[in-house]
Structure 1
């Protein structure tokens, strides 16, 4: 379709086609999030986007483009209230992934990601702070959750630049931060593999956990590990350092291809041991 230009009768103005409505976008969601993401991440984002669309339909608001204040309200609702069939509000890590899915669809349409807005970031930070006291209160028979001050003390005590303790410290720092920020269990840290972690420029590392204790159907899920404001407690920084160091050790040791690519390694041993496990 073209319109004539009244100021220049000999020229025409092209009119862009209208943006497809939301139902069409939902059907194409898998393609929108891009093939660069893993299949598990695409499935998680698709489910998260459908949840967001349903909420927007109930509120009578637009899901795409989404106003940052609406995304913040979405985070606030599910981060502070107990949804039917649940015993507690959704975890902050889950809310972070929901926002990441909303941002991914917006970026696919070259729209500003609402999750980058300060009001959304503050809502996520508030959810993390609100849930912190609950994490620090253990049920009878359960281990006491680690507090942030204690984590800082552990990270400071772990830091080392000597060989091979510096290598072990780099690994342990990444594990501690991934477990703390992601709210994961010790067994999930032990089972983690390098291939389970992937970098996403817009929201940090994605950690795909194939099976967890709370995943009754065994579908697995994705945990978002965002950048931190402080170097000591920045999970993305710690993971990057360990993955790069591990690759360097593997190259130096000329490790044969095809052996187990575990994230963990023995707490003591040679560089070859750290590479092989």
Structure 2
């Protein structure tokens, strides 16, 4: 009976190409190319690369299994998901997380829509298969979420302090200034690492009342580039002031862009001890369109290109290790630790979700509350009122 019902579904809901009633217009090559470029720009480069990779994987699997990839039948997609869910690593654990399946499905759906075919991933068979896989994973306790551990204010100040007193030589000081700016700006601004590495010098402006205003021209939740502004405040202590950290790094960027390593060595050799605020002093002149955060080579030279997200991740782990954090703790840290740390610390300090959202840019409180549930479960919890 079950086989007959499945056969009926496959026969009646087979995927066919979408046929348009309109006649395709005779477009010039220039117009067609312009449309193609605009369509490609509808998604970020990272998303396009991820979709292309996921599609190639699906296409390869279909070739090996003897199925059509385009257009794909819903049963083909369901079989693909089941095969991936049953794939194990050498130690017998699941090779792929449920969230990975969601990304793969999105890529398959996107390719079908882009080529004028019905989306097989919207079929009930695919949705039910994916839902069942997730329930199976959850029941077995396999591949749970593994979010990055938050870095709180005490962590940030400790790591920054070790970074500033652990350098040896001018090249190390260049790296220290960049990393402390990353840490303090990333933490107080609740930035995603993709937002940090996309910053150009023109995006940060000092405000005489607030501190620094940072314009995010485009982000994960703002692909159309509406833009938003985050404020980094002047703080009481110069050691933890994000605006001071920005100015110290900007001095290096300006010196290198105008005079190379010789100018950088000169400014570092003449620099006075960092024992008070410098955030209200004269700002160095920089090339506005140049990347703010860049790679620093072993010889202290700066690259011309922006720092990568992976480099932010590595910098946080490297600095935490040097500050004395153990391997198990460091393994839980990453680029997202700054953003999750901001939310967690703000909740612990009594901020509400909407106040936090003003800095993080979340559009709903639901995701913000997730941080509270995972990293600050006692905040606002009645268990603290039991009187035990």
Q: Structures share a fold, TM > 0.5?
A: no
The higher-RCO structure (CA 8 Å, 6+ apart) is 2
TM-score when scaled to structure 2? 0.32
